Structures are given as structure tokens and as C-alpha cells.
Chain A
Amino acid sequence: MTERKVRAPATDELLRLVIESAHDYAIFSMDSEGLVTSWNSGAERLTGWSAEEIVGRTADVIFTPEDRADGGPEQEREQAFATGRAEDERWQQRKDGTRFWASGLMMQLEDRSQGFTKILRDRTEHHLANERVRLSEERFRLLATNIPQLVFRGLSDGSRTWPSPQWIDFTGLGVEASLGLGWLDAIHPDDREGTRTAWRTAQASGEYYFEHRIRRRVDGQFRWHQTRARAIHQLEGPPIDWVGTMTDVHDLRGLQERQKVLMAELQHRTRNLLAMTQSIATQTLRRSGSLGEFEREFAHRLAALSRVQGLITGVDYRNVDLRDLLTAELQAHDRKHLDTSRIRLDGPALPLSAAAAQALGLALHELATNAVKYGALARDNGRLAVTWRIDKRGSERIIVLSWKETGVSLSGTPERSGYGRELIERALPYQLGAETRLGFEPDGVHCTIAVPLQGAADE
């Protein structure tokens, strides 16, 4: 006690020196109204106000205008007055208007009439760093919870530390149930072993990749997902934190499968078409008297084949209606609108399979060619009626098509290539199981084609 008394004046001086040399802290005092009574070098450095400028003036100027308008300085003094101290972190303002983030402590001096002392510490860097971390975490959270993928965080052994809300929604597994290796419950039993094995290999590479099926809660369907994850590398030591996504690729896989089938179908059709072309060329050549005749006939038959292909692909690889097939063939010969006073088409809508459309198309082409050259469409008083219906024969349903020309007086045996006859009488029975009859009646060609609906119609 005695010692302290003796040294008291020296202690005051020491204290002043300590305060003055605390450059990183703004330390100042003010009276009960907030007027500055002392101002250390740290305060000068931090706020830009010198002691000469501010002593005797209000310290409120280092508050931001917003805080001043809100009564921030008064509230602080009231709290310090009531409880002895007021502590906060906030933006403060320098003399030049720039701002700094400060943690502040205001204390009432022992002698209450002396007012307050305040210590401010510049925490701007720290605050901005925290803010960056917070923003970064917020960005991750927003991204992780708003993308359609199922997001997760976990450890190197594949165990989960955080499942995203999407995962919980999709699988119906709660947070608790998903943690650790609990999430494996939602993986298809056949895929679990592979899923875990892939985690073991991922530890070496730092990257996880696997495709497996995940059960969807709403309908219990196992849907294919592509799971990727990467380790977050730390400055030192092995990676402990992994972040990953699970993307639903179920529909994509379906489309890929479908594409494979379509490609195969395309291959098949193309090769078959080339084979058909080759065969038509050989057959036409065999029956042609001259190369000129071959050229004409071959070109027409190729055009007929091409029209059928156009119809098949024109409706998006689906079926061709019998009426459209007939119309296309007759129009090709007329090169104009069908003359409805001479040509009658009558029958129900009848979608044909591609194979049936091709075989029938070629046969109808031969009938139409004959009609235009020698038959009902070669003269003014000729008439053509093409009618079709669906008949029952026992349990089997058949398409019965009738091609009937009238008003033609056939003089002698019509000159025919024989190719059309072969198509109708042999090819249609062979390919479509059809029964056909081709007759040359006194007033024109009459042809009936009966095709089992099974296989011919696209059902």
C-alpha cells in the first residue's frame, strides 16, 4: 500500500505513456455529454482526427450518419451510464468519410462526473474476411439447395455429414437416417457393393464417380443417378471433407437406349432399301427390251419406292395410312389433283406398318402405272374405284382391298411387264401372308388384295 502511494504520480505518467503508445487502439475519454476530453495517438491514426481538432468537440462524429440519425451515440452512453459498460461492433467513420469496422468498448469512469472512456479496435480486415466466409457459405448453401441435383457432404469413407433437402425430398430418408452410411438404404441393393467399392478407389484419386439407382419416395421407382464427388484439399494433411452431387440420368439413359434402337432400325432400313434397289434393278433389267426401257421403268419404280419412304419418315417414323399411300401413288401419275369424278377412294382410316406400306406401295404403283398406260386412267370414260374394309375371317381380321377399273374395253391380252403381276401374285402373299387375285375383266382390271391385319396394320 505504501509503495503504491509513493509511486502514484509516476504511475499516472506511465499510464499516459502506455495509452499513447497503444497505436493499434483508439483510446479516448469524453464527458457525460460526449465531448472529447482526451484523444490518444491510436485514435488519431484510426479516425484521422487529431487531438487538437477534436478535444472539446463531440466524439459522435466518428459514428456513421445513419447511426447518428438512429440515436446510436446516445444509446451507447445511456447503456454505459446504466450498466457501467457498452460493447458493440459496427461501422465507424473517419474524418475523410471512409469507414472502418470497429469493436468498441465504452466504460464509465470511476468518478461518474468524469464521463466515459472508450476503446476502439480496427477489425475491418477480420470483419471482411468473416463476411467473405459467410457469403461463400451462403453461396454454397444456395447453390447446394437450389440445383436439381441431390447434394451431399461427407468423408473419405463415403459416410455422409450433410444431405441436401433435395436428397431428403427425393428419397424420403431424413437427415438422421442419411448420416454416416445410412444413405445407402436408398441405393438399389444390387448397386450398393459397387457404390462402396467406388468410394474405396476414390480415396486414392480424390474423385468419386459412379452410376447407380436411387429409390424415389413418391413411387418407389429406382432411378439411375450419376454421382460425382471431390475432396476438398486442405493446406496440410489428407482431405477430410468431400462435396458431391447425384444427378438423375434415368431419362437420359432411356433416350440413349432408344437412340441405339433407332440407329439399328435406321441401319436395317437403309441396308434393306439398298438391297431392294439392287433387286428392282436386276428384275427390271431382266424384263427390259432395251436400256432406254430399263432406264424409264427403273426410274419410275425407284420413285415409287422413294414415295413410300417419304411417307414412312414423313410421319416421324410412324405408320402410313392406306389412303395416303394410294393418294400419293395416284397423284404421282397424274401430276395434279385427283380427278374425283373418275377416281373414287373409299374406306376407313387404316394405319399400316412400314413393311406393309412398302410392299403394298410397290404393288399399287404397278397397278397405277398400268391404269395410266392402258387402263381406266388412259381414256376419258374410264373409272377407277379403290375400296377397302376390314373383314373377319374366323378369329383373324383382314384388310380387303378392291381395285376395280371400269369403262375400259380391253382389246386382246394387255401387254404387261409381268413384274407387277409377280409383285401382286407372289410377293404380297410371301411377305404379308396376303391372298390376291388379279383379273382382266371385259371392262378393265379388277384386283383384290386380302391382307391379315396382324402385322400389316401398325397397332
Chain B
Amino acid sequence: MNETLSGKRILAVEDEYMLAQELALFLEERGATVIGPVGTIQAGLCLATRETLDAAVLDVNLRNKPVYPVADVLIERGIPIVFVTGYDELLMQRPYLGLPRCPKPLDKEALLRVLVREIATRAGTR
């Protein structure tokens, strides 16, 4: 198993337990340290504020509430975000529309490529 994400700390926010476990397991298999997973905005906010992070994977819809408050904290901190969404594009709101996203059901390898790219881009800008 390649460890592309070795040493990276990645926040996982997903409200569906099984999906959260799948995601966490996958990220760990690729060498990442998973922060979470958590399934609520409150818990997401808590980790997004406190933890040292290299990137975050956010489910857009948490129990019918948008995950945007968590995204705002991460954007403020300059931490790359990848959204996971069951939504059609038209529902994504403006400031978040330009951010990378992966549709559900998740193609994990595609997610991995996006994560690696976003982390590298961020490292390059610093």
C-alpha cells in the first residue's frame, strides 16, 4: 500500500457512520493521521479550530445543515478543503463553488489525487 499521505493530518467530517469509517480507514491506509471522523458541525468546528491540520475532507450536508461554518474556519486558516457531496452543483453556494469536490459515492483514488494536489499547492504558496 503506498503511503502518499504519510505524516499528513487530515480532518474528516461525514455524518454517515459507515461512510465516515470507510473514509477514515482509507486515509489511514494511505499513511494519514485522521482527525475525527466527526458527524456534526459543532464537533467539526471544534477540531477545525484546535487541531494542526494539513487538509480536510468535508461532507457538504450534515443532517440537513450545510458544513459551511466549518469550511469558513478552515479557509481562514488557509487549510485546503475537499468537499464530498451528494449535491448537484447548482446548490453549492458561491464562495465554496470554486473549491474542489468529489461526488458521492466516493471514488477514493480520485479523492486521494485531489488531496495530494491541494496539499502540494498549499505547500508551494508558502
Contacts and interface: CB of A to CB of B under 8 A. Distances in A.
Pairing of A with B = yes
Interface of A: 263-264, 267-272, 274-280, 282-283, 355, 359, 423, 426-427, 430-431, 455
Contacts of A430: 17, 20, 39
A267 B88 contact: yes
B22 interface: yes
Contact of B105 (A268, A269, A275, A423): A275
A275 B63 contact: no
B63 A355 contact: yes
A283 B88 CA distance: 27
B40 to A, nearest CB: 8
B16 A431 contact: yes
Contacts of B103: 271
A122 B15 CA distance: 89
Contacts of A264: 87-88, 90-91
B112 to A, nearest CB: 16
Contact of B86 (A268, A277, A355): A268
A407 B37 CA distance: 40
Contact of A267 (B15, B20, B39, B86): B86
Interface string B59-99: 00101100000000000000000000111101100000000
Contacts, number: 62
B18 interface: yes
B88 A275 contact: no
Interface string B33-72: 0000001000000000000000000000101100000000
Interface of B: 15-22, 39, 61, 63-64, 85-88, 90-91, 103-106
Given A267-B86, A277-B105, A431-B16, 18 more contacts: A263-B88, A264-B90, A267-B88, A268-B61, A268-B87, A274-B104, A275-B16, A275-B86, A276-B18, A276-B19, A279-B19, A279-B21, A282-B22, A355-B64, A426-B17, A431-B17, A431-B39, A455-B63
22 contacts: A263-B88, A264-B90, A268-B61, A268-B86, A269-B86, A270-B86, A271-B85, A271-B103, A274-B104, A275-B106, A276-B16, A276-B19, A278-B22, A279-B18, A279-B19, A282-B22, A283-B18, A355-B15, A355-B64, A359-B17, A427-B17, A430-B20
A309 B17 CA distance: 18
Given A279-B18, A280-B18, A272 B104 contact: yes
A272 B106 CA distance: 10
A152 to B, nearest CB: 36
Contacts of A277: 105
Contacts of B104: 271-272, 274-275
Contacts of B86: 267-272, 275
Contacts of A271: 85-87, 103-105
Contacts of B20: 430
Nearest to A356: B63
A356 B84 CA distance: 21
A455 B40 CA distance: 12
A355 B61 CA distance: 12
A282 B22 CA distance: 9
* Nearest 9 interchain pairs by C-beta: A271-B86, A427-B17, A279-B18, A271-B104, A275-B105, A430-B17, A275-B104, A268-B86, A278-B105
B18 A427 contact: yes
Given A278-B105, A355-B63, A272 B88 contact: no
Contacts of A267: 86-88, 91
